[in-house]
Every structure is written in C-alpha cells, then in structure tokens.
C-alpha cells in the first residue's frame, strides 16, 4: 500500500514540475545564478514565476512577461490600450482627450451642435448651440477693442518685455537647470462659453492688445537665455483638456546645446534640448526649476496683469506671483505685486 501511495505522489509531483517549467532554456539560465526554489518561486506574487519574470521585483502582467504595462503619458490608460499614448486623456475615451471641434468650450461628446460655435446650456438638445444674433455683441466688442488700441498705440511693449524679464526672482530658481515654458497651448481652442457668453469674441477679450504670445517672441527667448545664469531647457505648457507638459526638441537658439533626458513630474523620462551655461551639465536631468510667464489681462489706462510661476520638480504648484504693470511717462512701472497660494 505504501509503495502504491508513493508512486502516485511521485507521479503528481512529476506532473507538477513538468507544468511549471514551460521554458527550459530560461529555467536553465535562471538556475546558473539562483537556486531551483527561487527560480520556481513568484517573488512579486503576480502569477509569473521568477525564471520567466522580466520584472521579478514588481508585480505585472503575464501577458507582458511579468512586467507592468507602461503608461507613458500618466493618464491611467496603459499604452497598449491608449489610442493617444503621448497625450493625457480620459479612460472613457481610450486615453485620448475629449475634443472640441468648434472651439466653443463645449466638448464634442456633449455638444448638440459640434460644428458650430455655441454656448453652454443645461438643455442637452441646445448645449453648444447658438442662442442669439451676435451682431450687437460684436459691435460692442469692437468699441472696446478700439478704445484699447487707441490708449496703447504709444506703449512700448519691448520695454515691458525687458521689465518682466529683469524682475525674474533668481532666488526662486535655485537648481542649476531651469525649464522655461515659452509656449502656451490650449488643447481646446476658441472662447470659453458660459451662460452670458454665447458668441465668438473675434479677439481675446482678456488680452486684446498684448498677450502671452506677444510676450514670447524670439527676442524674449534670447533675453531669457542671456539673463539666467542657468542651464536652460525650453518647454511647452498645455492647458485645457489633455493638459500637460512637453519639451522642445528642436534648436531654437544659435547656442551650444546637447540632447538630454528629463524626468517629468510623473517620473517619466522625456527627450529635450539643454543649453548648458554651467560646467558639468548632466545628460539625465531629474532636479530642475521651471519658470512660466503668462499675460493674464489688459486693462484700460495701459495696465497689464502678468502671472509668473516658479516651480520645482517636486512641487507642481510652486510659487505664483501676480504682477500689474502700468505704462506711465514712457516707462513701465510695477504698481502691484501679489503672491498667490
């Protein structure tokens, strides 16, 4: 009876091991550096045995050889399922941002008139559709625009650019490397709509005579480079749906440069171009500050409201300053500086 039980037990164990070792070459290779027990273990408890697991310390998927599926843009949708792997998107939209074809601020998925500029409405059958004749509002907007243009026709915006750059607080840029966000992109274009904002504005009503794009011309890029005693990387700030950061890969300055890898806030390595101004600059960048300058608003009497945001790699919110400049007697003067939380 004992012989019979032993034979059955030996048969079961033999079958078990035969099922476990599915790749003899991989098992043999594992055995050269580890014990048989370790090779047949599942250290990270992900269902993939140690000798087959390419990521034995990290739980992953058997379909990916025991490694977790990557998520390059950090939006929670794995790259293998992500139709927009380089853009932060929504899980419900297969990893892509929701689009707004007509630029009215109502996403296409909710827009009853996706091809025509409209306004937001609680009625799903009217949401994103036009409500009224915009002629009157257009005429009123043109009066305001002409007043702005008349007031500002002698304002020297090159001097404002110089003033803003000279006012950069170097004490808040402590790292050797600084990312300068010299472009600001809206993923959804056009005028944001609301209950009282039904018609296209035909111009940016917040910044009708001087905008962020006006500030960030080629001169500003060169002036910033000259002003900061730092290694410089240029980046692009994306706002709206699918927001995120990108780094400029093309050369935009006729200065010494080199390709680098930068670790973004999601701990993902991305390619960038570094303009080194300090000795011993690194090829892999994981410690850096960033600087973002945005023109928020134009007011009458030649007043310009500016946001300056200083951040570091560990604090995406950073320190934000709102500064108001006014053009008086051929000079731009700071009339208010306020730190925001």
User: What is d(CA 36, CA 295) in angstroms, rounded to the nearest whole number?
Assistant: 65
DSSP state of 89: -
Q: How many CB atoms lie within 10 A of CB 323?
A: 19
pLDDT of residue 122: 87
- Is the separation of the CB atoms in 296 and 305 below 8 Å? yes
Distances (CA, A) of 336 to 15, 139, 155, 309: 80, 33, 19, 16
DSSP notation for 23-71: -HHHHHHHHTTS-HHHHT--TT-SSS-TTT-SSTTS--BGGGTTBPPP-
- Is the separation of the CB atoms in 88 and 243 below 8 Å? yes
Residues in the chain with pLDDT < 70? 1-20, 131-133, 185-202, 239-244, 313-317
pLDDT of residue 95: 87
- Is the separation of the CB atoms in 125 and 296 below 8 Å? no
Question: At CB < 8 A and 24+ separation, what contacts does 306-314 make?
Answer: 306/164, 308/164, 308/167, 308/168, 308/169, 310/169, 310/172, 310/173, 312/174, 312/175, 312/287, 312/288, 313/263, 313/265, 313/286, 313/287, 313/288
pLDDT of residue 315: 66
pLDDT of residue 45: 86
pLDDT of residue 59: 84
> Taking the domains of the chain in order of start, what are their residue ranges?
2-64, 154-340
Cα-to-chain-centroid distance, residue 340: 21
pLDDT of residue 261: 94
User: What is d(CA 180, CA 161) in angstroms, rounded to the nearest whole number?
Assistant: 15
């Amino acid at each position: 009876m004992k012989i019979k039980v032993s034979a059955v037990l030996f048969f079961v164990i033999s079958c078990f091991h035969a099922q476990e070792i599915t790749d003899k070459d991989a098992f043999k290779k594992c055995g050269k550096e580890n014990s048989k027990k370790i090779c047949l273990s599942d250290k990270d408890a992900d269902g993939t045995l140690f000798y087959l697991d390419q990521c034995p310390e990290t739980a992953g998927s058997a379909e990916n050889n025991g490694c977790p599926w990557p998520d390059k843009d950090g939006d929670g949708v794995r790259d293998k399922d992500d139709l927009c792997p380089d853009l932060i998107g929504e899980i419900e939209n297969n990893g892509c941002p929701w689009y707004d074809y007509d630029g009215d601020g109502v996403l296409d998925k909710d827009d009853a008139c996706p091809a025509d500029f409209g306004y937001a409405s609680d009625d799903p059958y009217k949401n994103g559709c036009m409500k009224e004749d915009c002629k009157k509002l257009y005429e009123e907007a043109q009066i305001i625009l002409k007043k702005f243009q008349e007031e500002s026709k002698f304002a020297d915006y090159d001097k404002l650019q110089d003033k803003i750059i000279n006012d950069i607080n170097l004490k808040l840029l402590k790292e050797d490397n600084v990312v300068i966000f010299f472009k600001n992109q809206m993923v959804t274009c056009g005028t944001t709509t609301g209950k009282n904002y039904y018609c296209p504005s035909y111009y940016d009503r917040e910044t009708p005579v001087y905008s962020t794009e006006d500030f960030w011309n080629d001169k500003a890029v060169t002036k910033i480079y000259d002003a900061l005693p730092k290694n410089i990387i240029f980046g692009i700030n994306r706002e709206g749906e699918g927001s995120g950061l990108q780094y400029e890969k093309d050369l935009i300055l006729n200065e010494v440069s080199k390709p680098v890898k930068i670790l973004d806030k999601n701990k993902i390595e991305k390619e960038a171009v570094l303009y080194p101004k300090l000795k011993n600059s690194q090829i892999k960048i994981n410690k850096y500050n960033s600087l973002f300058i945005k023109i928020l608003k134009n007011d009458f009497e030649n007043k310009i409201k500016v946001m300056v945001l200083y951040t570091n790699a560990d604090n995406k919110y950073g320190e934000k300053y709102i500064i108001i400049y006014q053009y008086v007697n051929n000079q731009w003067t700071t009339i208010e500086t306020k730190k925001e939380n």
